[in-house]
Structure 1
Amino acid sequence: MTSGQRQSGPGGLDVLFRAPVERAGNTFVPASDGQRLYADVDRRIEAFDLQTGARLWSYQRPPGGPSALVVRGGRVMFAGDSAVAVDAATGREIWRRELDSYAGFTESDGDADAFYTGTEQRSIYAFRATDGALLWRRQLGADWPHGGIVRGITVSGDTVYAVLEHNTGINAYIGTGDVFALDRHTGAIHWTYRNGDGTRLSIFQSAGRVAGGLLLLSANWDNEFLALNRASGTEAWRVRGGLTFSGPQEAPEHRRGVAYVGSHDQHALALDLATGRELWKTRVQAGVNWLGVCGSRLLVGASGLHVLDLASGRVLGHGYGSESNEVLGTDFVVVGNRAYVFGIGHLYGFECPT
């Protein structure tokens, strides 16, 4: 289908486009600045038109895949074997900086001033966004005998929240999830938080998500969802999903006082943001990997697309799964009341009811 030829999708969605993308099944970390959609497609950073899905430019990135694209101030920034910034309008490389080790397992973040990333050596880097000049660098967990890795960076206000996977046993079979709150300007540590006692796999594998005064996190292997007080690092609430199933690949989503989570026990949940109290719980057809809040719908990536009513959790529709030989392989990118996601061979654009 082409732009202007809308079709009805599951759960009341309008299908804006279904654009063929070569090697779309090898797509990772889509992101948007509201002007274009960007993604790592088979080792190239590519930009797409939000109205039609047409490819606008393509940039052959350096070795080492980014686990996040950060789009700020007209720049697309990412890190793998090195930290890189390209022009968001053209794909022209602006700067490239070396790192002490691989950063492709880290969800990087940034703001108008700087790009923040972390490496396998647990170093947190802050690079000036305009020219890549090093602003500061801090190594965390230098005394951890079995090492660890930076999994995610979230910047908000004057604080950078670094989420680390801390290995407490050989071969990383057990570990804790450690969070450090750092000063955005200097890298000084304000507080630390540790999830688990090191005797089981109680790790975080994704960045936290800021929701007002809270930092939302998913303890993936414990299938637990928790909120930390951003000012103190103390735990505000914790909710456990299915006991024998791992959790999702991202931190909880949220909107208007409600947090949304899902796990591989085939359920999506809505939680009161202030207390963690369960508001609704809905069974879907497969384990949940991705969630997106779009208009009045919750989009659930679980062996296809499940469309739920945001207020009640009622399943309104399902599609783009085995019945169409499709697999949706990326997180949803939501821009206003529109959502974008990559499948095996296509980029999809949806418009959600408000």
Structure 2
Amino acid sequence: MLKIKRFALCVRGAAACVVACVLAAGCKDLVTRDGPSGASPGGLDLLFKVPVDRADNAFVPATDGQRLYADVNRRIEAFDLSTGARLWSYLRPLGGPSSLVARDGRVFFAGDTAVALDAASGRELWRHVLPSPAGLGESAGDSDAYYVGMKDHRVYALRATDGALLWSRDLGPDWPFGGVVRGMTVSGDTVYAAVEHDTGINGYIGTGDLFALDRRTGAVHWVFRNGDGTRLDIYQSAGRVAGRLLLLTANWENEYIALDRLTGTEVWRAHGEDPYFGMDEAPEVQGDRAYFASQDQYAYALDLATGRRLWRARVASGASNVAPCGSRLLVQDLGLSVVDLGSGRMLGRAYDSSTNESLHTDFVVVGNRAYVFGITHLYGFECPT
């Protein structure tokens, strides 16, 4: 996608009203351009292909390793990881989830209201009405708290057990043009908030401001600013922790940034091709490599320590999400492109518009299995190791 207009955060999703059209264990079909049967692109096995009502309106899939969760047509749904069968459904409040966070037996999400559900049953545990919408970014959580960033550049830490407010922090009280928290990441004693800071009216220019906050108090440890405010150098997703590094995507500029997350200093910066948008999320990490893809129709592997490009693979169209799975890199480019993780060799493609299907969510990976939603089905794949 060329830079014709400003790109809004694309949040990813999952399924609704699942019809149990599940393939029996031990009878795994192979993935092809036409779906099950025939030769397999990239050697993936199709575990299941489950029809889902309004799968085209599914977003933000997540997992705790026990179940798959997603927002489907304003319902938070839980699915079985082995069969794709729907386990429970919860009608969420208006406002849309910022993302789903699943851990410690709870599923958290936030739009106009932050909510915690019991992960096994879908029963509501608590809700907390927010002062500003939180549906424009990714939230995060740990055993103590659920961390939510809002449209008015504020962050809330809500107690995981009952939703009580532990602390709040306004990250831009003196910003004349405002800003939006696009993503939260928690690691150790630090919460990282990636903020789109508008420096001009209507948000036509801005900086990406990354705040490192104390997890227990919200105190600011350091701030890293991307850009000088004369262009649109914004963040539109949460950072990803990789050892001492925090990886970020400056979506508008198709740039990928690695920070020392203890000091807030830049370690390296990588670029996709101009003049295209970057990926909707921070690069994925496996071992000593980072992987990303962008609207420039390429997938990339970088050396994690230096940002040096190791390979570049042409995919079928502009890409939004990637996922290492076994020995493969899965690329969501409105279909499924499968790339060899080590060499970058293109191995195959499936599930695109030529088959009346199109993948449109992020991948969820558990071990060597990957899950993704198309416009009509929920898919589960097994990747070769």
Smaller-chain TM-score bracket? over 0.9
Aligned to 1:6: 28
Aligned to 1:159: 190
TM norm structure 1: 0.99
> Which whole-Å CA distance do the structure 1 matches of 2:131 and 2:242 have between them?
32
Kindly state the Cα deviation for residue 2 of structure 1 after the two structures are TM-superposed.
1.7
Which consecutive residues of structure 2, in runs of 5 or more, have no partner in the other structure?
A: 1-21, 32-40
Q: Does residue 83 of the first structure (1) align with residue 114 of the second (2)?
A: yes
> Which whole-Å CA distance do the structure 1 matches of 2:254 and 2:24 have between them?
40
> Which whole-Å CA distance do the structure 2 matches of 1:133 and 1:168 have between them?
33
Q: What residue identity is the alignment partner of 2:129?
A: E
Pairing of 1:132-211 with structure 2 (within 5 A): 132-211=163-242
Give the aligned CA root-mean-square deviation in angstroms: 0.7
Aligned to 2:365: 334
> Which whole-Å CA distance do the structure 1 matches of 2:24 and 2:266 have between them?
47
Kindly state the Cα deviation for residue 67 of structure 1 after the two structures are TM-superposed.
2.4
> Which whole-Å CA distance do the structure 2 matches of 1:191 and 1:245 have between them?
30
Which residue of 23, 34, 37 corresponds with 2:54? 23
Tell me if the contact between 1:65 and 1:104 (Cα under 8 Å) persists in the aligned partners.
Answer: yes
> Which whole-Å CA distance do the structure 1 matches of 2:152 and 2:113 have between them?
14
SS in 2 for 1:312: coil
Q: What residue identity is the alignment partner of 1:141?
A: G
Q: Which has the higher contact order (CA 8 A, sep 6+)?
A: 2
> Which whole-Å CA distance do the structure 2 matches of 1:26 and 1:145 have between them?
35
> Which whole-Å CA distance do the structure 1 matches of 2:153 and 2:163 have between them?
20
> Which whole-Å CA distance do the structure 1 matches of 2:334 and 2:168 have between them?
40
Aligned to 1:95: 126
> Which whole-Å CA distance do the structure 1 matches of 2:83 and 2:146 have between them?
30
Tell me if the contact between 2:292 and 2:321 (Cα under 8 Å) persists in the aligned partners.
Answer: no
Q: What residue identity is the alignment partner of 1:253?
A: E
Q: What residue identity is the alignment partner of 1:308?
A: V
SS in 1 for 2:253: coil
- For residues 291-329 of structure 1, what are the alpha-carbon distances to aligned partners after superposition, in whole Å with 9 as ceiling and x for unaligned? 011000000001200000000010111000022111101
Tell me if the contact between 1:83 and 1:97 (Cα under 8 Å) persists in the aligned partners.
Answer: yes
Tell me if the contact between 1:177 and 1:202 (Cα under 8 Å) persists in the aligned partners.
Answer: yes
Q: What residue identity is the alignment partner of 2:30?
A: S
Pairing of 1:310-321 with structure 2 (within 5 A): 310-321=341-352
Kindly state the Cα deviation for residue 69 of structure 1 after the two structures are TM-superposed.
0.2
Q: What residue identity is the alignment partner of 1:335?
A: V
Q: What residue identity is the alignment partner of 2:337?
A: H
Q: List structure 1 runs of 4+ shifted beyond 6 angstroms.
A: none
Q: What residue identity is the alignment partner of 1:316?
A: L
Tell me if the contact between 1:3 and 1:51 (Cα under 8 Å) persists in the aligned partners.
Answer: no
Tell me if the contact between 1:74 and 1:88 (Cα under 8 Å) persists in the aligned partners.
Answer: yes
TM norm structure 2: 0.91
Q: Does residue 66 of the first structure (1) align with residue 87 of the second (2)?
A: no
Aligned to 1:283: 314
Q: Does residue 352 of the first structure (1) align with residue 351 of the second (2)?
A: no
Kindly state the Cα deviation for residue 168 of structure 1 after the two structures are TM-superposed.
0.6
> Which whole-Å CA distance do the structure 1 matches of 2:153 and 2:316 have between them?
38
- For residues 2-31 of structure 1, what are the alpha-carbon distances to aligned partners after superposition, in whole Å with 9 as ceiling and x for unaligned? 232311122100000000111000000000
Q: What residue identity is the alignment partner of 2:269?
A: R
> Which whole-Å CA distance do the structure 1 matches of 2:51 and 2:357 have between them?
13
Pairing of 1:257-272 with structure 2 (within 5 A): 257-272=288-303
Q: Does residue 222 of the first structure (1) align with residue 253 of the second (2)?
A: yes
Aligned to 2:285: 254
Tell me if the contact between 2:334 and 2:360 (Cα under 8 Å) persists in the aligned partners.
Answer: no
The size of the alignment, in residue pairs, is 354
Kindly state the Cα deviation for residue 243 of structure 1 after the two structures are TM-superposed.
1.4
- For residues 240-272 of structure 1, what are the alpha-carbon distances to aligned partners after superposition, in whole Å with 9 as ceiling and x for unaligned? 111100101010001111000111110011000
Q: What residue identity is the alignment partner of 1:2?
A: L
Which residue of 126, 131, 142 corresponds with 1:111? 142
> Which whole-Å CA distance do the structure 2 matches of 1:259 and 1:94 have between them?
37
> Which whole-Å CA distance do the structure 2 matches of 1:277 and 1:310 have between them?
16
Which residue of 9, 19, 37 corresponds with 2:68? 37
Tell me if the contact between 1:85 and 1:95 (Cα under 8 Å) persists in the aligned partners.
Answer: yes
Which residue of 337, 353, 360 corresponds with 1:306? 337
> Which whole-Å CA distance do the structure 2 matches of 1:82 and 1:272 have between them?
40
Kindly state the Cα deviation for residue 50 of structure 1 after the two structures are TM-superposed.
0.5
Which consecutive residues of structure 1, in runs of 5 or more, have no partner in the other structure?
A: none
SS in 2 for 1:221: helix
Q: What residue identity is the alignment partner of 1:8?
A: L
Aligned to 1:49: 80
> Which whole-Å CA distance do the structure 1 matches of 2:118 and 2:24 have between them?
26
